Amino acid sequence: HLKYHKLVKHGVGKKLKCPSCEYTCLNRSMLNSHLKRHSLEKPFSCETCGSCYKFSNLLK
């Protein structure tokens, strides 16, 4: 927990960087989620109208 605290609160430690922009994050999961923003893939689609989205939470 101390290692995480130092990284989050004080910027001490290793951060992961997006290869396409200046975005940095603390873990692989966050980076993978961010990388979807650069992708053209839209894997989530509405069953009613067929609209497609990059993120499932946009299917509200």
Q: What is the pLDDT of residues 30-47, one digit of tens each?
A: 899 899 889 899 999 999
3-class SS at 17?
strand
* In the predicted structure, residue 9 carries a pLDDT above the cut 90: no
Counting residues of the chain whose pLDDT is more than 90, the rounded percentage is 38
3-class SS at 34?
helix
3-class SS at 44?
strand
Residues 6+ apart with CB under 8 A from 56: 44
User: Residue 28 and residue 51: Cα distance in Å, rounded?
Assistant: 29
pLDDT at 52: 93
Domain count, the chain: 1
**CATH code for the domain of 27:** 3.30.160.60
Q: Which domain holds residue 27?
A: 2-58
